[in-house]
Amino acid sequence: MLQAEHLGEPDLIDTVRPKRRARPIIRSAGIRLALVYATVFGVSAFALAFSLWYSTVGLLQRQVEVAVRNDASALGDHFAIGGIPSLVMAIRDRLANNIDGDAIYLLIDPLGNRVIGNLDRWPVGLTEANAWYELPVTRQGVGSIALLRAYPIIGGDQLLVGRDVRARTELRRVLQDGLLWAMGIMAVLGLLGALVIRSLFRRMIRDISSTTRAISRGDLTRRVPKTGDG
């Protein structure tokens, strides 16, 4: 009985022997290389998308801002020459000649009453002068979106100059959707590229390991397979 129990002890020891822990997946060289590739690819794709966004939507925004500033500067020159009457006449001429169909003007007196312009009332939400606002407006009974800037005038009057940017807003939305789709496609391509690199790396390591084991067994004719001219 004692001998049987003694013979059974190794089996018991084997059953309680701790197993080796699996290596964390992040410690795999192939996984790390794939993650580095995916990260570099993702950062490059984001930089490309940002540059495209800045060169299109940003350019349109800057063009509108420059047009509004130039328009306000010209109207300021009229005010400097002849005061409010000259300013009113300049705005009336611009609206009558329809020089820019997207142009928005509104002049109000110190009490907030409309003096002249193509807006019925001061836009809700525009509270500070010399600041940019993109707000909904109603122009000639039609709702739209406008980029606006208010300029205080000596005496308490306020001049509002802006541009209708509804068409540009729609274009910006189209470009934004296109960039989002492009970012999604680039993310998928980056993931596929990372998987391909990981597979190639693992195959290379497997070939090296196989050759090393063969050489350790005495087969000195084995060589690591070469690819290309390397």
State pLDDT tens for residues 140-167: 777 888 999 999 998 899 999 999 888 7
pLDDT score of 168:
74
pLDDT score of 203:
77
Element (H, E) at 60: helix 59-97
Beta-ladder partners of 159: 107, 151
Phi, psi of 127 (to 5 degrees): -115, -20
pLDDT score of 227:
58
pLDDT score of 165:
86
Q: Domains plus CATH for the chain?
A: 64-165 (3.30.450.20)
pLDDT score of 9:
46
Residue 1: CA count within 13 A, CB half-sphere: 0
Q: What is the mean pLDDT of the chain?
A: 77
Element (H, E) at 225: none
Helices (H) and strands (E) in the chain, counts: 4, 5
Sheet with 132-139, edge to edge strand ranges: 114-117, 103-108, 158-164, 142-152, 132-139
Q: Residue 69: CB partners within 8 Å, gap ≥ 6?
A: 149
pTM exceeds 0.75 for this model: no
Task: List, for residues 123-133, the tens digit of each pLDDT value.
Answer: 989 989 999 99
Q: Which residues of the chain have pLDDT under 70?
A: 1-34, 37, 99, 169-170, 218-230
Task: List, for residues 23-42, the tens digit of each pLDDT value.
Answer: 444 456 666 666 776 777 77
Phi, psi of 139 (to 5 degrees): -120, 115
